Amino acid sequence: MRKQVESSLVVKGTVDITADGRVLGYALDHADKLAPAVKQLLARTVPQWQFEPVTLDPDTDRGRAPMSVRLVAKKLDGGDYRIEVRGAQFGSHRRDHVVRSVSMSPPRYPMPALHARVGGTVYVVALVGHDGRVVEAAAEQVNLGVIASETEMAAWRRVFAQAAVGGAKQWTFEPPATGPNASAGRWAVRVPVDFVMMDDESRPPPNEFEWRAYVPGPRMPLPWARDAESAEEARSGDALASGTVHLPGLGLRLRAPLGAQ
């Protein structure tokens, strides 16, 4: 069972690229809070990325897009840890092309999980209509912060999925004003929903710069997102930071899978 447990960190930031997809630079959120090993790994990795070409705004030589990277720490036989990049997600360098959140009240913490002090993260994919309201929503993946039997973990995943999806159906968004998807009529957005037990309200959000132990859940691709995104983007679905609104298929795309560049 413990082989399923991973220690992970989601790092947010921005990446600057040229029209032909070369990386010009990048910036990390809360860089001063990140461990040196994390910053060193990203300093070796990010500049090597190659993206598909993009169309830049007139009179500019670069595009800047949000990024989030999931790192995983694996324990070695000698007791040390090896950090590796598990996945990455990239937004669009054109802000007017994306779906923006208008109202995203956090879903209520499910009482059974609250009483049992169980936490988790649900990756919700919501289908947004032309009026900005959620037409349909479903849980794509549920990662847990608890180790239990397979049956118990499946039950907790259902509890969190139901709570997250119920809350997501009340959200509202602003559809894209321009861009290739502006006239689509419906848009799929992926949003991570965190259910985290906080003993001390003064603590920072755990997805910002803290390592977290979790049990990855099975991923169930949804056709609304699957039809738009690349295989690499789909595999990195849980690389988003909590509360991020991501439009599958619209952001920057890597030319080769992570680890192959």
Range(s) of the domain holding residue 54:
2-239
Percent of the chain with pLDDT strictly greater than 70? 85
More confident residue, 223 or 254: 254
User: What three-state secondary structure class fits 245?
Assistant: coil
The answer to whether residue 106 sits within a structural domain is yes
Whether pLDDT at 60 is above 80: yes
Nearest to 10 by CA among 208, 204, 205, 143: 208
The answer to whether residue 44 sits within a structural domain is yes
CA end-to-end span of the chain, whole Å? Answer: 33
pLDDT digits (tens, 9 = 90+) for 87-113: 998 987 666 677 888 999 999 999 999
Cα(215)–Cα(258) distance, integer angstroms: 22
Percent of the chain with pLDDT strictly greater than 90? 48
The answer to whether residue 165 sits within a structural domain is yes
Cα(174)–Cα(131) distance, integer angstroms: 8
Mean pLDDT, the chain, integer: 85
Structure tokens at 10: 């989601």
User: Is 164 within 8 Å of 191 (Cβ atoms)?
Assistant: no
Which single residue is written with the structure tokens 């991923």?
A: 219
Domain containing residue 24: CATH number: 3.30.2420.10
Look at the chain and count its residues: 261
What is the pTM for the complete model shown?
A: 0.83
Q: pLDDT at position 202, please?
A: 45
Q: pLDDT at position 245, please?
A: 83
User: Is 83 within 8 Å of 73 (Cβ atoms)?
Assistant: yes
Whether pLDDT at 261 is above 50: yes
More confident residue, 227 or 51: 51
- Look at the chain and report how many structural domains it folds into: 1
Nearest to 152 by CA among 108, 114, 116: 116
The answer to whether residue 250 sits within a structural domain is no
More confident residue, 246 or 115: 115
DSSP letters, 57-89, are PTT-S-EEEEEEEEEEEEE-TTS-EEEEEEEEE
pLDDT digits (tens, 9 = 90+) for 201-234: 444 445 467 788 889 899 887 776 666 566 666 6
Q: pLDDT at position 14, please?
A: 94
Cα(56)–Cα(51) distance, integer angstroms: 13
The answer to whether residue 251 sits within a structural domain is no
User: What three-state secondary structure class fits 214?
Assistant: strand
Q: pLDDT at position 141, please?
A: 93
Cα(203)–Cα(37) distance, integer angstroms: 23
The answer to whether residue 252 sits within a structural domain is no
Among 20-24, 42-46, 77-81, 148-152, the range scoring the smallest mean pLDDT is 77-81
| Count of alpha carbons within 13 angstroms of residue 181, beta-carbon side | 23
Which single residue is written with the structure tokens 């419906």?
A: 186
The answer to whether residue 258 sits within a structural domain is no
pLDDT digits (tens, 9 = 90+) for 136-164: 999 999 999 888 899 999 999 999 999 99
Q: pLDDT at position 201, please?
A: 47
Cα(1)–Cα(147) distance, integer angstroms: 8
Q: pLDDT at position 106, please?
A: 92
The answer to whether residue 244 sits within a structural domain is no
Q: pLDDT at position 32, please?
A: 92
Structure tokens at 170: 């009340």
